[in-house]
Amino acid sequence: MDICVRDKIGVVQRISKEVFKQLNMLCIILITSSPSTIRERLRKRSCLDWTEEYIADFQNKEIAYAKKLSKELNIKLFVFNDPQELDEIAKIINKEILPKILFENYLKEDEVISIDRGYFFISKDGREYFTITSIPYMYKKPLNAFEIQENSYPLNHVLTPLNNNRILANMKEEDTFNYYLEYSIKYLKEVKDFFDNN
């Protein structure tokens, strides 16, 4: 999620602090990059052609606002530079975020949450399509604490499908796949339709 946005005349605007308060965030993870890298990505992804100076200014304003939000909302801020540090981001998630979700009453018993995943498709001839799937689950407080393993999916130990009370970790792989598919099929059809009709 962006913490600053560009209005229709190009002025960088901060998203209200109240929005972030309502999100009940556990921390802020801000990923930065060089203005030249961001410019190239914007050109490829959106055909936007912002100057490197504008991008640097935008990014500096986001960093300053992230620091302010972190202080005012009393949550940690982690700043990373580009995808080279994805392993570090994963460590922060496992150390700072997941334990709070799993063990510290961040979620209420039987609270419904959704896991959203973004998918980006590129055809052989260069056409692109992006979609997000949203799969609902119910939270079940773990009976016992467990260690969060690196490269694991610990939410499997606290989430159940809406249509039964079996923890995902205890379900057959085929059953979890069918549950994912139930909520993803319409998005996959959108992708197919896009590439069939363009």
Q: End-to-end alpha-carbon separation of the chain, Å? A: 29
How many structural domains is the chain composed of? 2
What are 123-174's pLDDT values in tens digits?
777 777 888 888 999 999 887 777 777 667 788 889 999 988 899 988 999 9
Q: Which of 158, 155, 156, 154 is nearest to 142 (CA)?
A: 158
114 and 72 part of one domain:
no
123 and 97 part of one domain:
no
9 and 78 part of one domain:
yes
Q: Domain limits at 146?
A: 108-198
90 and 122 part of one domain:
no
In the predicted structure, residue 83 carries a pLDDT above the cut 90: no
41 and 126 part of one domain:
no
Give dist(CA 30, CA 2) in Å, integer.
9
16 and 71 part of one domain:
yes
pLDDT at res. 137 = 95
Q: What length is written for the chain?
A: 198
88 and 156 part of one domain:
no
Domain-ending residue, one of 106, 139, 154 = 106
94 and 152 part of one domain:
no
- As a whole number, the mean pLDDT across the chain is 84
77 and 112 part of one domain:
no
pTM (predicted TM-score): 0.60
pLDDT at res. 97 = 82
